[in-house]
Every structure is written in structure tokens, then in C-alpha cells.
Structure 1
Amino acid sequence: MRLSRHSVLLPVTALAAAVLLAACVPSDEATPTSAPTPSQSTTPTPTGSATPAPQPTAEIIPFSAACDQLVSPQALYDINPNLALLGAFDPDAGTPAADVVAAGGTACRWVNSTSGSTIDVAVAELPAEVSTALKNSLVGDSNSVPTYGVEGYFSVVGGVGEADAFPDPYWVSVVSSDFVEPGDAGPFAITVIDALG
């Protein structure tokens, strides 16, 4: 079964919600099991907190950048002069770009004026533990790509090429139906990685 990016990021949100809800529910430990007898002291003795201490959770790190900062007009022209920037957009649920936006990132879209196909580029800054979990899922579900210059992966899912690159602490996602192999996504991935510096 393919572990989606959404399934990696969702547990962070769910865990945070569970910790908040736990603070609202009284613990069973606070309920006395028997009434004190005259020989027992009725002075309460200090015990641990009834509410469990919250465990550290990953926080969303907001990331915002203009699309033409991630891929400059000159870089875009060098990649393909038929491409035009459509700008930032609200991605469809379940897409890699939607997962990036849910992680606090930015999603941008370009269109090929000849074919009408689109290229989505999305970037998020991830906490280390979320980044590690995502990379670990991609090790088994994707193909490693050394040519992006950083830890990178590529796969084709439902006829759509998906490239993921990790110039830590960032996650760069590049997706298009035009991508059939890692080298197709490479110019976009490398341009964005260079822009993130």
C-alpha cells in the first residue's frame, strides 16, 4: 500500500488534537477507590497530575514565497519558453500540493501554453521529525533520485509524475502529467532548490 504524504502529515494534527482533548477529560486516577477509615489519614497526599503531560508534537512552520521567486521568469524561460505562470492556487484535496499547503507551505502552478498541461510546484518548511517520516515513506514507495543534488525521489502515480526533493529543512514537490522520468522534473526541482539557497 502506498503511504501518501497526507497520511504522514495527518498524524501530527491528530496527535495535537488528542493532547488538547486529554486536558479536558478527568483522569480515572483522580477517582478515590475507597473511603478513608478512622485509622487512615484524611490529609491528601501529593500525587502526580491528573492530566497527562502533553508530549512534544510537530508544529506547522509557515512558509511563504512568491511563485516568481521560486522560479524566476528567466529560469522559467530557460526551462521551456512555452510555460506561463498561473500563480498561487488552492490545490485539490489529496494532491501533493494540498499536503504541502496543509503543512504550512506555498503552492504555485504553471501552464504549458501549447499543450495546456500544468506543472505544480509546492514548498514547505518541515519540522525534522515530519521530514524524516516523509522521507522514510518515500524510500519504500518511490525511487531515489541522486541528480537533484539533495535527497530526492520520483514516481509516476496515475499517469502523473511526482518529484520530491529535500533541501533541508524544506520539502519541494514538483508534479505534472508531463513528467514520465526524474529528468523531466529535474529542471524545476533544481531551480527551486537553488532559489531556496
Structure 2
Amino acid sequence: MRARSRSLLLVGSLAAIAVLGLAGCSAEPTPESTPGGAATTEPTDGQSTPPTAEPTVEPGTPITIDCKTLLAPQDIYDFNPNVSTDPGFVPAEGSLAAAAVADNGIACGYLHQTSNELMNFSLSQPSPEQLTLALNAAAASSTPVPTYGTPPAVSGFFDPASGEIQVFTPKYWLTATSTMFGEPGDAEPLVRAAISHLPE
């Protein structure tokens, strides 16, 4: 009987020690909850990346001559007496002429009075970086034309599929487009005349 009492006393003591031991333990702290039940944490450095600014394109230098100076009426007449200025000319969206106008350049339209074929010339003075990009693009997509001039003073290109001409000098980007240009030589008199009229 005495032994049984000691056993009960020992068991009770161990139980008390176990309760005291558990009372001394604590769980890891949990983040504070918002009313919606979602846990919130403090923001840390580097969690958000500031937006990067789009690169700016330097605008071209405004062209100071007009269409009658770029190609004189006599230049047009010598090319074809049936071709004259097109009063309703508007550069087509996405065309080289439209790009020239958007970059402070000029675009000039002409019309064949018999066939109604159109012809346009444009001139711009892009920034050096944009001029180099345009030159590289023309070289990659068109055929070089040495008769327009000698590089680097003049670099000429022709695309027979579109009748599109691009001519580059160290400062200027001259373009011309027409179905009348079946080969590079068709536009050569006009191209040479326009180059001779470029501003210094």
C-alpha cells in the first residue's frame, strides 16, 4: 500500500514537471494579420524596380529649302515634259517621304499627266545616329548604285521591286519613289540634280 502511494506520488510529480516544461515553451511569432486575414510583411529594399525611361530619338535638323529648290521645274521638264508638280500630294503613311516630313524634312510629289504615275522625292537631315541606322538598313535591303556618286560623299541604293531610291551624304538622306523608276539609271538625272542643290 505504501509502495502504491509512492508510485502515484512519482507519477504526479512527473506530470507536474511536464506541465511546467510545456508552459515555458513559446511558438514562433506570426505576422500580424490584416482584417481580411492576409499576413502583411514590411517591404524590403530591392523589391520594386523603378520604370526605365524610353530612349529618346534626337530630331533631325529642319530642311531650309523647298521643293522647287531641291528639283527645279527645268530639272523635272528635262526628265519628262509630261511630268509636273502634283498639287494634291500627301506622303503615304509609313513611306520614306512620310518619315522625312516627320523628321523636319520635306517631301515633294509629281504626277505624269498622261499615265497618272506618281513620283516623289524627299529630303531630311537626321541626327548622325539615325542617318547611320538608315544607311545600314538601305545597304541591307537594296542594291548599291555607284552611278549616283562615290562613297562616302554619296552612297546610293535602289530597290527594283518598289522603284525606291535612297541616297546618303554625310549630312542628308535623299529618297525617291516611282513606278517610273524601273532601273537605277531611270532616275539618275533627277538624283544628280537634287544632290547638286543640297544645302551646304
TM-score scaled by length of structure 1: 0.68
2:164 pairs with 1:152: no
TM superposition shift of 1:32: 6.4
- Tell me, what secondary structure is at the counterpart of 2:90? coil
Alignment equivalent of 1:165, drawn from 161, 164, 167: 167
Q: Is the 8 A contact 1:109 1:120 kept in 2?
A: yes
TM superposition shift of 1:113: 1.2
Tell me which structure has the larger Cα radius of gyration.
2
- Tell me, what secondary structure is at the counterpart of 1:78? helix
Q: Is the 8 A contact 1:148 1:190 kept in 2?
A: yes
Q: Is the 8 A contact 1:87 1:108 kept in 2?
A: no
Per-residue CA deviation, residues 111-154 of structure 1 (Å, 9 max, x unaligned), is 11121111100000111111111111111110001111110100
Q: Is the 8 A contact 2:89 2:110 kept in 1?
A: no
Letter in 1 for 2:155: E
Q: Residue in 1 aligned with 2:69?
A: 69
Structure 2 stretches of 5 or more lacking a match? 1-42
- Inter-partner Cα distance in structure 1 for 2:57 and 2:115: 44
Which structure shows the higher strand fraction?
1
Q: Is the 8 A contact 1:155 1:161 kept in 2?
A: yes
Q: Is the 8 A contact 1:121 1:175 kept in 2?
A: yes
Aligned length: 150
- Tell me, what secondary structure is at the counterpart of 1:108? strand
Alignment equivalent of 2:45, drawn from 10, 26, 33: 33
Per-residue CA deviation, residues 137-184 of structure 1 (Å, 9 max, x unaligned), is 111110001111110100023xx3000001221100010011111111
Compared CA separation, residues 102 and 57, structure 1 to 2 (3 A):
closer
- Inter-partner Cα distance in structure 1 for 2:71 and 2:119: 12
Compared CA separation, residues 57 and 108, structure 1 to 2 (3 A):
closer
Alignment equivalent of 2:189, drawn from 183, 187, 190: 187
Give percent identity, aligned residues only.
Answer: 33
TM superposition shift of 1:84: 0.7
Q: Is the 8 A contact 1:174 1:188 kept in 2?
A: no
Compared CA separation, residues 90 and 64, structure 1 to 2 (3 A):
farther
Compared CA separation, residues 111 and 52, structure 1 to 2 (3 A):
closer
- Tell me, what secondary structure is at the counterpart of 2:160? strand
TM-score scaled by length of structure 2: 0.67
- Root-mean-square deviation over aligned CA pairs: 2.4
Query: Which ranges of 4 or more aligned residues in structure 1 deviate by more than 4 Å?
Result: 50-57
Q: Residue in 1 aligned with 2:179?
A: 177
